[in-house]
Amino acid sequence: MRSSVARRGAAGSTFDHVAREAGVSRGLLHYYFGTKERLLAEVVRRDAALRLPLLREGLERAGSADEIVDLLVASLAATVRDDPEFVTVLLELFALARRHEEVATEVSALLERMRREVGDVLAQKERDGVVQLGAPAEVLADLLFAVGDGASMRMLAEPERDPGPLLAACGDAVRPLLGAR
């Protein structure tokens, strides 16, 4: 489903395409997922379940606000560069959530988990004196992800363009919110 959505978009990705490319029957996909939207949500949920703990571990190891920002920027750059399918599927899921209640519920749960996980780390970093947050931890986590979502969308739209200046500007924009100078 990831590959199909990255090539065809969510609207153009059918169970027939996915089943053929995965070497399974269409009926098997229907049995386990029911709808294309549910399969797409599961793809993103699985990816997030793999990525979020790695991000959390990196953030927990960071010893300064600058290290946190550098980690976030590097993670964003690596994700868009090395796994553009993930970003494409996530952006498609955001759009689908506007039209499908079931997808909206899944997206909301995913975003809540991301906010909570990263917000918890940021709050602990503030208690430890590593950062001085310029907003409530979960709100700041939401903002950090929003900046990353916007930057990743632009990076995907213009792959020939050097993302370095954009990524640097994103880092510079969020540093003061973590108490970095």
Q: How far apart are CA 118 and CA 177, in angstroms?
A: 14
Shortest CA distance to 166 belongs to which of 151, 149, 181?
A: 151
Given a cut of 80, is residue 10 above it in pLDDT?
A: no
pTM of the model as a whole: 0.85
Relative orientation angle of helices 2-12 and 15-22, to the nearest 10 degrees: 170
Confidence of residue 90 (pLDDT cuts 50, 70, 90): confident
Q: What is the pLDDT of residue 105?
A: 86
Percent of the chain with pLDDT over 90: 54
Q: What is the pLDDT of residue 48?
A: 81
For 44-82, what is each residue's pLDDT tens digit? Answer: 778 888 889 999 999 999 999 999 999 999 999 999 999
Place of tokens 């960071």: 62
Given a cut of 90, is residue 110 above it in pLDDT?
A: no
Given a cut of 80, is residue 6 above it in pLDDT?
A: no
Given a cut of 70, is residue 112 above it in pLDDT?
A: yes
Q: How far apart are CA 105 and CA 148, in angstroms?
A: 22
Domains belonging to the chain, first-starting first, are 37-178 (1.10.357.10)
For 133-170, what is each residue's pLDDT tens digit? Answer: 999 999 999 999 999 999 999 999 999 999 999 999 99
Residue 86: exposure state from Cβ atoms within 10 A (0-12, 13-18, ≥19): buried
Q: How far apart are CA 115 and CA 142, in angstroms?
A: 6
